[in-house]
Amino acid sequence: MSKVAIIGSGPCGLSILRSFHQAELKGEKIPEITCFDKQSDWGGLWNYSWRTGSDQYGDTVPNSMYRYLWSNGPKECLEFADYTFDEHFGKAIPSFPPREVLYDYILGRAKKSDVKKYIRFDTIVTSVSHNGKEFSIKSKDKKNNSLLNEKFDNVVVATGHFSIPFIPEYEGMKSFPGRILHSHDFRDAEEFRGKNVIVLGSSYSAEDIALQCYKYGASSVTIGYRNNPMGFKWPSGMKEVHYLDRLEGKKAVFKDGHTQDADAIVLCTGYLHHFPFIEDKLKLETNNRLYPPKLYKGVVWQDNHSLFYLGMQDQFHTFNMFDAQAWYVRDLIVNKASLPTDAEISEDISQWMAKEGKLEDPLQMIDFQTEYTKDLCSMVDYPEIDMELIRKHFHDWEHHKEDDILQYRNKSFSSAVTGTVAPLHHTNWLDAMDDSMETFMNTKF
């Protein structure tokens, strides 16, 4: 029987575990599976940790989510086709749940699939290499401080790419008298109540952390973009200015001449695709983009077809795209699907990357990733899901954000699997300070 290693038990790792479970239910023979996760529990980023920096073993903490994080896209766009929100919660719930609620949903499916038995927790993969025939994986059981070196036929890298922060330095940081942190280490906006906060970046972390600081009572929030401003209609107390030039004591001086006294700076400057444990010839090297290079159908390593990467794209689509990827990888591993010639693989990658290069705005990017996900779905037996409705939802969501960035989470969407229309949440996101699952679920909708 072939041996498969899965590195990571976040949403992507759980998708491939689920895909094997589904095949097994259909009576298909599945390989011997070992899944490694360096955390002590599953769920990846959704497994919230109060920790920043190192864990108790001295290893870096992968978690980047914060206490009051709510879904930033409609849940209907990420719903699993084979495990709906209705099935999990037994009733319709609003479209933008807090983190804890989505975590519960992810784990609900994982528990039902009985896949925990495959996962070695607290076990970090420290080396992946290939000798032309098979893979060697070195791992370390962090609890017992023991090392293992094992052989595998296939490796699936599902380690995520929003865990290792990219941290630039600006002039004056060393002498800045306030607090400087990366969004990776941001846990709780309460800390910034009454403070003047600078947020650097212009993507989702910048947007949401700036809004968190506003919601939880920062005195002012000044966002410094580098290339393109987000351009939302920010409420009074928030503004967007052009790029930090330098800090002079506690004064931030921006390229457009704007100045602002600051108590804290949050660097929302993104993450690195960082795989120090993978040997160079197998290592994905990319920035955060919709079609990383050298990955056929976004998942098969071009130079070694026994190696797969899941979820390495920049993400509009998430959980059901991870599923489509996982189902396809599973079919390749069990030889249910086959690959075209090297020339065709190369041509296919080039075509997708050329299309990606022409994208001009978020709506086109959404369309691109929808097409990509549809392409994968067309090749596998993933259950029916209305990707056109999801495309439309994402477009509407973009427009809602443009209309009112403080209100977009109060909208309702319909399921692309069941058709269920989400009820409106009882409290506007801006006023909802208690985002526990208990409060969220205890309400009659």
Residue number, 190 or 381, with CB nearest to ligand NAP: 190
CB of 105 to ligand NAP, least distance (A): 14
CB of 134 to ligand NAP, least distance (A): 34
- Region for residue 43 given its phi and psi (left: phi exceeds 0; alpha: psi -120 to 50; beta: otherwise): left
Pick from ligand NAP, ligand FAD, none: which does 203 bind, CB < 5 to 8 A by kind?
Answer: ligand NAP
Indicate which single residue of 269, 313, 373, 414 sits in contact with ligand NAP (rule: CB under 6 A).
Answer: 269
Whole-number Å distance between alpha carbons of 383 and 347: 29
Task: Annotate each residue in 307-346 with x if it binds ligand FAD (CB under 6 A) or - if it does not, as one string.
Answer: ----x---x--x----------------------------
Q: Exposure string (b/e) for 53-85, b if CB count within 10 Å is 16 or more?
A: eebeeeeebbbbbbbbbbbebbbbbbbbbbbbb
Residue 128 touches ligand FAD, criterion: CB under 6 A: no
CB of 403 to ligand NAP, least distance (A): 18
CB of 313 to ligand NAP, least distance (A): 10
Whole-number Å distance between alpha carbons of 324 and 374: 9
CA angle 414, 110, 331 (to 5 degrees): 90
Indicate which single residue of 65, 200, 266, 387 sits in contact with ligand FAD (rule: CB under 6 A).
Answer: 65
Residues 20-79 that bind ligand NAP (CB under 6 A): 69, 71-72
Residue 44 touches ligand FAD, criterion: CB under 6 A: yes
Span interacting with ligand FAD, options 36-44, 239-247, 325-333, 381-389, rule CB under 6 A: 36-44
Residue number, 72 or 302, with CB nearest to ligand FAD: 72
Residue number, 68 or 254, with CB nearest to ligand FAD: 68
Residue 97 touches ligand FAD, criterion: CB under 6 A: no
Residue 209 touches ligand FAD, criterion: CB under 6 A: no
Residues 144-163 that bind ligand FAD (CB under 6 A): 158-160, 162-163
Residue number, 60 or 346, with CB nearest to ligand NAP: 60
User: Which residues sit at the interface with ligand FAD, rule CB under 6 A?
Assistant: 7-13, 36-39, 44-46, 62, 64-65, 69, 71-73, 78, 124-125, 158-160, 162-163, 277, 311, 315, 318
Residue ranges binding ligand NAP (CB under 6 A): 69, 71-72, 162, 168, 183, 200-206, 208, 226-227, 268-270, 288, 315
